[in-house]
Amino acid sequence: MPGSFAVRAENLVKVYEGTVRALDGVTLSVEEGELRAIVGPNGAGKTTLMRILTTQIKPTSGDAWVLGRHVVREAGKVRSAIGYVPQEFSVWNDLTGYENLLVYAKLYGIPRDRRKRVIEEMLEFMELKEAANRLVRTYSGGMIRRLELAIALMVKPRVLFLDEPTIGLDPRARALVWSRVLEYRKEYGATVVFNTHYMDEAERYSEVVTMMNRGRIVAEGEPGDLAKAVGEGDLVSLSLEGDTAKALDALSRVPELVVVSAKNPVLVRVENAQRQLPYLMEALMGNGVRVKEVGIRRPTLEDVFVKLTGMTVEEAEALGFRGAAAMRRAIRRGG
């Protein structure tokens, strides 16, 4: 039943210009009030999914609902219930911050008697009061993002869609953007769906992660649970000198060890790195393998992606580069 979810998608397919398959059968449910991250490399289909959910484009096939309203047949009703911040900047940089809020407030149809109050409240909430009367052209990237969030939140949307909300921002600006999003969500119990290719951000800020690659969902779950899919324990990355074959041979004789990635740097999983590392090193050196660098860490979503797709996020992006470039062109041209 689509009605009981904040967002529901069934078998969404989107083909651009008859050739580029951006979405290849996506089915997804987001509960009301949930904080959902959609992660994956560039070209995975995250933006296309969000553009369908926000009624900008129609799916080639499949259905989707936001708060029980169909995104194609009831697009108008969906639009009145959502807030959206696209990946690219969506404010006029030759107007002031205040004017952007005013113009958007009028376009949203916020009544005159409430407009000023809503704008003041949002400027305060986003810490933009002092910059309100400056041209947006003079804003930093973080300020522009907060202005866009202010615009999206003026109407107190029940579902907020953010496409790469912190892309290109420095850590401080990222943290400020997130603190505002989380506070809004706490105050209004809103559902937040965000796209990101920063896996660490998904891990830190979301309750449920949907992982996409090449137009499909490859994994879904709580970040902690997903990381467990790689296995319990620690990951040890070994940066090796020369051929990895000898190293893999040596490692195969170490008990309770799983090779996660056989490419240099080799990634292995052990139950307890502190205890097992000495044996591991002994085995490698005994086989004449020179280790340049050792790293120990907990499994992350990146590792989940590697395990599920057999490649790193960077490799997926490089591999899909031609496809992704064609898709981006198609999206821009509107094919």
Partner 1 sequence: MSLARALTFVELELRRLRHDPTEVFTRAVQPILWIGVFGTVMARVRAIPTGGVDYLTFITPGVLMQSSSFIAMAYGIMLVWERESGILKKVLTLPLSRLTVVLGRSLAGAARALTQLLVILLVAVPLGAKLDLSPIALALAVLALLAGAAGLTALSILLATFMKTRERFMGILQAITMPLFFASNAIYPIEVMPAPLQAFSRVNPLTYVIQALREALVYSNPLACLQSIVDISLFSLAMIALATLLLGKIVE
Question: Residue 193 is encoded by which pair of tokens?
Answer: 């769906």
CB of 16 to partner 1, least distance (A): 9
CB 165 within 8 Å of CB 88: no
With binding defined as CB under 8 A, does residue 334 bind partner 1?
yes
Non-local (6+) Cβ contacts of 209 within 8 A are: 36, 37, 38, 39, 202, 203, 219, 220, 221, 222, 223, 226, 301
> Which residues, listed in sequence order, are joined to residue 221 by a DSSP beta bridge?
209
Give Cα 332 distance to the centre of its chain. Answer: 20
Q: Residues 11, 27, 42, 90: which binds partner 1 (CB under 8 A)?
A: 90
User: Which position among 4, 19, 58, 263 is part of the footprint of partner 1 (CB under 8 A)?
Assistant: 58
Q: Does 103 bind partner 1 (CB under 8 A)?
A: yes
Cis previous bond, 265, omega within 30: yes
Regarding 109 and contact with partner 1 (CB under 8 A), the answer is yes
Q: Is 186 in the site for partner 1 (CB under 8 A)?
A: no
Q: Which is nearer to partner 1, 99 or 121 (CB)?
A: 99
Contact call for residue 57 and partner 1 (CB under 8 A)? yes
Q: Are 94 and 137 in contact (CB under 8 A)?
A: yes
How far is it, in rounded angstroms, from Cα 31 to Cα 208? 10
| Residue 59 contacts partner 1 per CB under 8 A | no
In the list 21, 46, 51, 180, the residue contacting partner 1 (rule: CB under 8 A) is: 51
Part in contact with partner 1 (CB under 8 A); list of ranges 82-90, 248-256, 258-266, 272-280: 82-90
Q: What is the dihedral of CA 6, 11, 16, 17, to 10 degrees?
A: -140
Which residue is listed with tokens 């002031």?
96
User: Counting contacts by CB under 8 A, is residue 167 touching partner 1?
Assistant: no
CA 74 distance to own-chain centroid: 26
- Out of 91, 162, 235, 306, point to the residue binding partner 1 (CB under 8 A): 91
> Closest approach of Cβ 17 to partner 1, in Å?
10
Which region among 101-109, 123-131, 165-173, 240-248 touches partner 1 (by CB under 8 A)? 101-109
| Spatial separation of the C-alpha atoms in residues 154 and 59, rounded to whole Å | 28
Order the strands of the 61-66 sheet from edge to edge.
20-30, 7-16, 61-66, 69-70
Residue 86 binds to partner 1 (criterion: CB under 8 A):
yes
Residue 92 or 178: the one with the smaller Cβ distance to partner 1 is 92
Establish if 88 lies at the interface with partner 1 (CB under 8 A).
yes
If one asks whether residue 56 binds partner 1 (CB under 8 A), the answer comes out as yes
CA 112 to chain centre: 36
Which residues bind to partner 1, rule: CB under 8 A?
Answer: 51, 54-58, 76, 79-80, 82, 84-92, 94-95, 99, 103-104, 106-109, 135, 148, 151, 332-335
